[in-house]
Structure 1
């Protein structure tokens, strides 16, 4: 870590957050006793007490201006949530400053590692000065950096915690000033996706990330041609990107989930996975900066263009390759569908939307789900279980979407309850669309196996689609570790032996 941050320092003097003239006027005699008493009665801090979730636009904007003054310091981590900050503070005394909320109001706090846990101490900004809530009321500072320096140099204990080393922002933090939003591409329940541009710097990090994300897969057709838009739209100083932006009034839980998605995606580097350039947490709204898929969403693409069967087959192989990579990294996507498959510069599939994904586990069980029912496996409906093999089931549904050219959602004309009944039943839940290549039809049938242990792995699926491609990198090194845990109420061996089920009429 840079030794510059062994103490709290700044290359240039920070912008003052209070009027220096107050120092000289504090001791002056005040005129007009009655007027002084009235002023004292109405004098309040910048953020007076309000009911929970009650905000004042003027106060919110004033506080935003104050936080913008903190951005110049690398120990200020913006709106990053507790969970992410805890991973950055590794040693005793490591600390940083971040923005959060308390009773619905924005505040600034110090997060410090103390006795193997991270503790958080709110700061108070009052009358142009900073202090610590309920800790050192008698000492006030005009700038946060002065307060921090006092805590570090004088080793002032904050309920047992002593500040030792300021931890700088990671390199993947992107300043809001480097991002320009151009037009909105879409939106969901908690966020919006925009086309934007990212300022390039001399260190070339954006360029390296761009080259990595734009590289075609080994099986991409050489005649794929140029992109319709996106990474091919290069300027000398800016890179066109996709920006996932949180909507206003986000809760702490929503912010935590948003950051976890970005954290997971940062670890995934593959031609068939959307690349994350970084996150922008210094101001609100919080944003994730992604590569721009030049050819848009696969669902829209196949519905609009007359894609030949060979190209549809290529899409299925690309999706299997990306999912095989995720499976090898112990990532469960949980929301695989045509709507979450994008097309890059070379019209290659790139898997996106990891908002529901989990990593590091072979199987997870949840009580409440927001995933569309028509892509769920039977064990998910019955037990709330997700695994790589439930992703395999969703892959079969996605194959049906691709070869119907996404003209309708799965199980057309049926209610959700009727779709559930088919998913749980012994028969094949849906037949391959007309014109589906035999190899894809057989893969769909195998992926729709009632017993998850009898479904093929993504590496095996890719090998069947691309026999000449080396899939050894995607195969599990230790089957006992990567195979899903068998459940006590899983179908019996006699039930799983029904490899050929009658098709639905």
Structure 2
């Protein structure tokens, strides 16, 4: 018999009950000592070993305090997701620092452009010092800026990536400290909308914001601007954060009196927030239900909505959720289209398999094929007209189930009749918008022409997809990178 095999077998085979008991006692003692040593070590480590979904409030707060020390550096981009960061890092060696999660736990990482892609390297904070995970374990620094300076000056490669230029935060990043929340206006599945105020830290910048939205200074304080703040709630996933930022990114590109203006985003810390123009007169749905609006004012609402949608269609934006609930009213009681959470840009058609959109505003082709286009927005516009001229007393297809509403939408007849007292011009527009063949529905520019025949509509000339791709917007010159500095306060050691 092989001697080596015999040794293995002899170790595995218990000699007697008494010795097995002694061995068990020794094992327990050794295990207890190991646990005691591990507990002592973990006191010096920010994050001890935990299950994937386990969190420690004290550790989370400690990490948040550490990240707050990074906010003073312009190369720290907060909780911005990968997709947005990738658009900011343009040249080889461009880098920034941001906060993200790994296996459900918060971490800080370096994002760097390397060989036409952006790569991400997690940082580790232990015993009051920073290092790079699995890269330069022997080098530790008391501050992130010292670590970055070493990587840049010594050209230390991170799996082939060399850090060259620290990319500063864009101007549309707003510090959390500049935002004050006043009262909650509403909430959805993933976010809340608050009335708030924005500190006027830069007069020229704030003046541009006001000119962009048409909003004036508050009477109570010339140093603050009243705004709406849309903030994420709960523990947001990476996918939720990505969608939230994409909505803000799309809205930043839209500048029109009948579109809600986005002033910027606040990503430095959690919760992530979008700062928007405050609609002084609230939601159109609540307004028309509360006040006895004359028909002329209702016609103005329909024209404003058509004007905003004509602008969106000219920019190749499909809203996908047009309804009275998403129409807000500005200080002059003008309509401002809002809620671009489901919108898409740069496409003439969007096809989806699963939808979380209210059925009663959907066009037949959406129900049948899951296809969204500007013409499906036109159908939703007709449903919105029905809401406006019923003064939003009920949802569309009142008294019917969703299945019955679907049958009417798919049927050959007009899905719903114009409300009593609707002006003939609106009746005709509704009938045309409810045409089953999307190609036969009018465009938003044609609708606006019928409502406002004397208005100059050259600004709403639709662009083809080829035109939009052949003449991209000019890249804004990036501000010079902030020199790396080690003047920041050291995070308190635990």
Match of 2:50 in 1: 50
| Aligned-residue offset at 1:231 | 5.8
| Aligned-residue offset at 1:211 | 2.3
Match of 1:167 in 2: 167
Q: Name which of 201, 218, 232 aligns with 1:246.
A: 232
Aligned positions of 1:11-410 closer than 5 A: 42-44=40-42, 45-214=45-214, 233=219, 235-410=221-396
Separation of aligned partners in 2, 1:160 and 1:120:
12
Give 3-state SS (helix, strand or coil) of 1:295's partner: coil
Separation of aligned partners in 2, 1:267 and 1:102:
31
| Aligned-residue offset at 1:418 | 0.3
Deviations 1:366-405 (A, max 9, x none): 1110010000000000000001000000000000000000
Contact preservation (8 Å) 1:335, 1:357: yes
Match of 1:454 in 2: 440
State the TM-score, normalizing by the size of structure 1. 0.84
Structure 1 pair 384–103 and aligned structure 2 pair: CA distance change class (3 A) = same
5+ residue gaps, structure 2, are: 1-32, 469-494
Are positions 1:425 and 2:411 aligned together?
Answer: yes
Contact preservation (8 Å) 1:231, 1:241: no
Give 3-state SS (helix, strand or coil) of 1:95's partner: strand
5+ residue gaps, structure 1, are: 1-34, 216-229, 483-505
Which structure has the highest helix share of the two?
A: 2
Match of 2:15 in 1: none
Match of 1:9 in 2: none
State the TM-score, normalizing by the size of structure 2. 0.86
Separation of aligned partners in 1, 2:35 and 2:145:
33
Contact preservation (8 Å) 1:231, 1:292: no
Query: How many residue pairs are counted as aligned between the two chains?
Result: 434
Which has the greater radius of gyration? 2
| Aligned-residue offset at 1:475 | 1.9
Contact preservation (8 Å) 1:265, 1:276: yes
| Aligned-residue offset at 1:207 | 2.3
Separation of aligned partners in 1, 2:182 and 2:412:
50
Separation of aligned partners in 1, 2:240 and 2:463:
35
Structure possessing the higher relative contact order (Cα contacts under 8 Å, 6 or more residues apart)? 2
**Structure 1 ranges of 4+ moved more than 3 A:** 35-41, 230-234, 477-482
| Superposition RMSD in Å | 1.7
